[in-house]
Amino acid sequence: MRLNERYLNAVMIVGLLALPLWAVVADQPFTITLVTRAVILALAAVGLNIILGIGGMVSFGHAVFFGIGGYAMGILAYHAQTYTALDLGLFSMDGTKSMPMIWLVAMILSAIVAVFIGLLSLRTSGVYFIMITLAFGQMFFYFAISWAQYGGEDGLSIYVRNDFPGLNTLAPIQFYTICFTLLCVVLFLFARLQASPFGLALNAARQTSVRVETVGLNPMQLKLLAFVISGAITGLAGALFADLNRFVSPTMFSWQLSGELIVLIIIGGVGRLMGPVIGACVFVALEHFLGELTDFWHVYLGLVLLCIVLFGRGGLTGLLTGKEGAHV
Amino acid sequence: MSDPVLATLNLNKSFGALKATDDVSIDLKPGEIHAIIGPNGAGKSTLIQQICGGLRPDSGRVMLRGQDVSGFSTQARARAGLGRTFQISQLCMEDSVLENAVLGAMGAEHMAWRFWRPALKRSALRERAEAALERVGLTENRDTRCANLSHGQRRQLEVAVALTLSPKAFVMDEPMAGLGAEGSKRLTGFLDGLRQEAPILLVEHDMDAVFALADRISVLVYGKVIATGTADEIRSSREVRDAYLGDEA
């Protein structure tokens, strides 16, 4: 069976529209929450897919950006709900419950941190790059645990979901609509980026950086910018994830989460537009349905991953369309 | 006498006790093919790397069009007009032939930092890339994945990517490597015409090609240039014969 990748992509988008609508009709709000979770994880993984799939950088610390997004939301909303000022040393500001504002802060903070992490980690490659990004992830994780002002190990609870103009974000389907729309926007951006000159050069830098240098381009600069864009998108997903759970905790910075994002992409298809989306749906479905049956559902996730790595280098997208994925 | 396009001035490079480049001064004049020959381990690749920016010399300078590029990175030298081909093809194997050529065009047109319109739909890039593919005879293969090309076609694509840069000087590291007699002959004909566009510094083991093409030949032995001259001069030099050519010439 050889499926055109466009059809597969369309099926995924239509499915992600139809399932929640069905859930509304059937009055299954938990299903909507589940799909929202998948969509947000997909969004985070699309961010990672830019550097992993196109640029070939295996970041084992992308939870850093997920966590920054989460804490950006948590801290801003915490100050808004307690009517306290957020003291930033030189000046202080009020918290906010506005989602667009929170997203903006989450993305900008993630981008700034990505510049620093990128500048240091991109000097290395291969296993050293993996280890450096992991080390940054652990630094942020332990920092969050010891950050008593914002809940330390227990995290921060936000009682009411943040606001989006014109929508009732507490209604699951309306919050889902926000997340789904953002996913579609980011997928569109990913597709444009991948085909653009920048995407082509980044893809070339993954395959042979000597070639890129020889035509007069700087692979480091290309990779750094990709890393920053990637971090900002994953940061946005983190803010949404915190809003979904109305809770932020250091686990958003955990290395397990970094690993899961990589696993999602490998299951779905490295460097493929819908790879992260397919991976996230499979992941959340396994987590939910197998998780009900057994606490050891990760064993089955591992088996799925094993089969995919052994038999289909292109992930599920590759198996369905018969095209191999990017080699990282 | 016209000014050289590319020149090395007293280049030295050692790896520990091994002197890989020993006071090498060579130059490349407009319109010529200057071949570097020498036995394996003579330091040809080390020399090429120092010219192209992959290796820093211990001392000495590299001049490109009168400009000292010794401190330049590889990509800065490429932008300054150096077009290089590799002994072992450095191509994006997962990409199509056209995409590989477009990458070169992006370097030449300074268009890597564009994020919106697809690279393959930009006429400036496409025209440049397709013109280069046409010249080496790869037009019909433009949609083929590079990994599916024959060895000879990859060698052609190597040259095509260098052509997209419209360089001021070519540095070619064994472009004939692995080509059959037929392919070698065709490429020889092509390089023969190319020298009018930009001079070529040619490292090559294929002596037929070297003697057919080169205006000047330099012989490198143990990192040292032992002779420079026309094909006839090199062929009749006793020193070269002893060191390298043996009975071949």
Q: Per-residue pLDDT tens for A19-54?
A: 999 999 999 999 999 999 999 999 999 999 999 999
Whether residues B211 and B224 fall in one domain: yes
Residues 130-169 of B with CB under 8 A from A: 161, 164-165
Whether residues B185 and B70 fall in one domain: yes
Encoded amino acid at B239, one letter: E
Confidence at B214, pLDDT banded by 50, 70, 90: very high
Answer whether residue B64 is part of any domain: yes
Question: At B208, which CATH number?
Answer: 3.40.50.300
**Per-residue model confidence (pLDDT) at position A142:** 97
Confidence at A88, pLDDT banded by 50, 70, 90: confident
pLDDT above 90 coverage of chain A, percent: 84
Q: What pTM, to 2 d.p., does this model score?
A: 0.94
Which residues on adjacent β-strands are paired with residue B94? none
With an 8 Å Cβ cutoff, are A211 and B90 in contact? yes
Confidence at B102, pLDDT banded by 50, 70, 90: very high
User: How many distinct structural domains can be found in chain A?
Assistant: 1
Answer whether residue A153 is part of any domain: yes
Last residue of a domain, one of B120, B146, B166: B166
Q: Which residues of B touch A327 (CB under 8 A)?
A: 94
> Who has greater pLDDT, A113 or A93?
A113
Give the C-alpha separation, B103 to A215, whole Å: 7
CB B107 within 8 A of CB A216: yes
Structural domain boundaries, residue A183: 42-268
**Per-residue model confidence (pLDDT) at position B249:** 44
Whether residues B190 and B68 fall in one domain: yes
Answer whether residue B118 is part of any domain: yes
**Per-residue model confidence (pLDDT) at position A18:** 97
> Which of B55, B69, B72, B75 should be substituted to probe chain A, the one whose Cβ sees the most A Cβ atoms within 10 Å?
B75
Answer whether residue B87 is part of any domain: no
Whether residues B54 and B101 fall in one domain: no
CB B12 within 8 A of CB B60: yes
Average pLDDT, integer, range A65-78: 97
Sign of CA dihedral B6, B9, B15, B17: positive
Check residue B3 and report its DSSP letter. P
Answer whether residue B128 is part of any domain: yes
Answer whether residue A14 is part of any domain: no
Last residue of a domain, one of B166, B182, B211: B166
Condensed to tens digits (0 to 9), the pLDDT of residues B223-238 reads: 999 999 999 999 888 8
**Per-residue model confidence (pLDDT) at position A155:** 95
A200 closest CB neighbour out of B53, B84, B119: B119
Both tokens of residue B16?
């520990």
Whether residues B54 and B41 fall in one domain: yes
List the single residue in B with minimal CA-CA distance to A328. Answer: B94
Instruction: Using the predicted structure, report yes or no on whether residue A270 has a pLDDT greater than 90.
Output: yes
Whether residues B146 and B49 fall in one domain: no
Whether residues B70 and B180 fall in one domain: yes
Sheet holding B82-85, edge to edge: B82-85, B169-173, B200-203, B33-37, B216-221, B224-229
Whether residues B19 and B77 fall in one domain: yes
Encoded amino acid at B74, one letter: T
Confidence at B247, pLDDT banded by 50, 70, 90: low
Average pLDDT, integer, range A238-245: 98
Whether residues B172 and B161 fall in one domain: no
Confidence at B34, pLDDT banded by 50, 70, 90: very high
Q: How many CB atoms lie within 10 A of CB B76?
A: 15
Answer whether residue A301 is part of any domain: no
Answer whether residue B157 is part of any domain: yes
Confidence at B246, pLDDT banded by 50, 70, 90: low
Sorted by sequence, the CB contacts under 8 Å of residue A246 that are 6+ apart come out as: A157, A158, A159, A160, A161
Q: Which residues of A touch B104 (CB under 8 A)?
A: 215
Kindly indicate whether the ipTM for this predicted assembly is greater than 0.85, answering yes or no. yes
Q: Which of the residue ranges A71-80, A82-91, A140-149 would you say has the lowest mean pLDDT?
A: A82-91
Q: Which residues of A touch B114 (CB under 8 A)?
A: 196-198
Q: Which residues of A touch B112 (CB under 8 A)?
A: 197-198, 201, 217, 222
Answer whether residue A152 is part of any domain: yes
**Per-residue model confidence (pLDDT) at position B153:** 94
**Per-residue model confidence (pLDDT) at position B242:** 79
With an 8 Å Cβ cutoff, are A203 and B90 in contact? no
Instruction: Using the predicted structure, report yes or no on whether residue B63 has a pLDDT greater than 50.
Output: yes
Check residue A26 and report its DSSP letter. T
Average pLDDT, integer, range A70-88: 94
Instruction: Using the predicted structure, report yes or no on whether residue A313 has a pLDDT greater than 80.
Output: no
Q: How many CB atoms lie within 10 A of CB A109?
A: 19
A200 closest CB neighbour out of B91, B102, B165: B102
The mean pLDDT value of chain B amounts to 93
Structural domain boundaries, residue B15: 1-81+168-249
Q: Which residues of B touch A196 (CB under 8 A)?
A: 114-119
Whether residues B132 and B243 fall in one domain: no
**Per-residue model confidence (pLDDT) at position B205:** 87
Last residue of a domain, one of B140, B166, B192: B166
User: How many distinct structural domains can be found in chain B?
Assistant: 2
Sorted by sequence, the CB contacts under 8 Å of residue A152 that are 6+ apart come out as: A144, A145, A146, A250
Whether residues B211 and B237 fall in one domain: yes
**Per-residue model confidence (pLDDT) at position A1:** 55
